[in-house]
Structure 1
């Protein structure tokens, strides 16, 4: 007698931005907050606890120091952020989509900065003769502060988009079931 195995239904972009939009957003938000928290912890280690920058590696960087210096890991995260913003975009409508698009635009630039850093690391040719891979805005801002700033700049409009999206007023026209039901 043959046993049949039932596989979970395939998740497409339409279901990701439809009935699965809310759990996908929550999963994505958890990834974003976890990464941003690493940058905040690193800043606390430097500015509050007085650690030298070389020792301030966030939470995961303490047991895994290579995480802080891996251009591949940073580029991979920037790419995941960009892909997530693109994939979840169709679930938004109205003003919430405008805010999501702002976050997407900022992340597109942030991704290009990480691509530039990765290409420098791979080629050994550093921007403007610097001793290490350097992004464009890093020419005027230190790297730790710049990436804390970038992550905040992407995070804030993303959260505004999510909050607007969940309200029945701004969620109207969205293809998902995230919006809160109107109050009676």
Structure 2
């Protein structure tokens, strides 16, 4: 069986470039999270109707908010990033990163379901708009705040553990992320 670090690009990404790749990935994740928080502020603080609350980028580019392709693309990029950067994590950090990945796999499935509905015009449960499984229980805005939180929190915990490893974890780590902090 091939180990992930046997592939040159993954070895580089999870060793000498791991810290830089994680930083770039987290900037993308934080920007996406900020868009959802801006939309929540627009709805719950500014009192905007949900249809008009489009976050920061959605205000000048409203098609972004309504594009299932864009939402699916982000969910896919997020899942791929979690997979590609996972080999650089060990011990407790890897456990938390894996938890984020497992949750993101479900989130990705939900976006795939939404995309298929948007493309086919056949919506779940006869709804007038594409609807995810958990959206049958929670409104879309709140559901995506929840999804982003339950993926983001274990990622942050993983990053903290990754940058503050136990002596055993430091010895096993393929990257020098923790050493860079010392």
- TM-score tier, shorter chain, comes to over 0.9
Q: Report the secondary structure of 2:178's partner residue.
A: coil
Q: Partner of 1:176 in structure 2?
A: 175
Q: Report the secondary structure of 2:129's partner residue.
A: coil
Compute the RMSD of aligned alpha carbons.
Answer: 1.3
Q: For 1:108-127, what aligned pairs fall within 5 Å after superposition? A: 108-127=105-124
Instruction: Determine which structure has the larger helix proportion and give its number.
Output: 2
Show CA shifts across 1:80-120 (max 9, x none): 00000000000000000000000000000000000000000
Q: Partner of 1:6 in structure 2?
A: none
Deviation at 1:172, TM superposition (A): 3.7
Deviation at 1:150, TM superposition (A): 0.2
If the length of structure 1 is used for normalisation, what is the TM-score? 0.91
Change (3 A) 1:47 1:19: same
Quick check: 1:77 aligned with 2:74? yes
Deviation at 1:174, TM superposition (A): 1.4
Q: Report the secondary structure of 1:179's partner residue.
A: helix
Q: Is the 8 A contact 1:104 1:154 kept in 2?
A: yes
- Pick from 30, 49, 56: which aligns with 1:33? 30
Deviation at 1:179, TM superposition (A): 1.0
Q: Partner of 1:52 in structure 2?
A: 49
Provide the C-alpha distance between the structure 1 equivalents of 2:44 and 2:27, rounded to a whole number of angstroms: 25
Q: Report the secondary structure of 2:57's partner residue.
A: coil
Q: Partner of 1:86 in structure 2?
A: 83
Quick check: 1:128 aligned with 2:125? yes
Q: Partner of 1:22 in structure 2?
A: 19
Deviation at 1:182, TM superposition (A): 8.9
- Pick from 39, 44, 48: which aligns with 1:42? 39
If the length of structure 2 is used for normalisation, what is the TM-score? 0.92
Q: Partner of 1:149 in structure 2?
A: 146
Which 4+ residue blocks in structure 1 deviate beyond 4 angstroms?
none
Q: Is the 8 A contact 1:13 1:87 kept in 2?
A: yes
Q: Is the 8 A contact 1:94 1:171 kept in 2?
A: no
* Structure label with greater radius of gyration: 1
Q: Is the 8 A contact 2:79 2:104 kept in 1?
A: yes
Instruction: Count how many residue pairs are aligned between Structure 1 and Structure 2.
Output: 173
Q: Partner of 1:8 in structure 2?
A: none
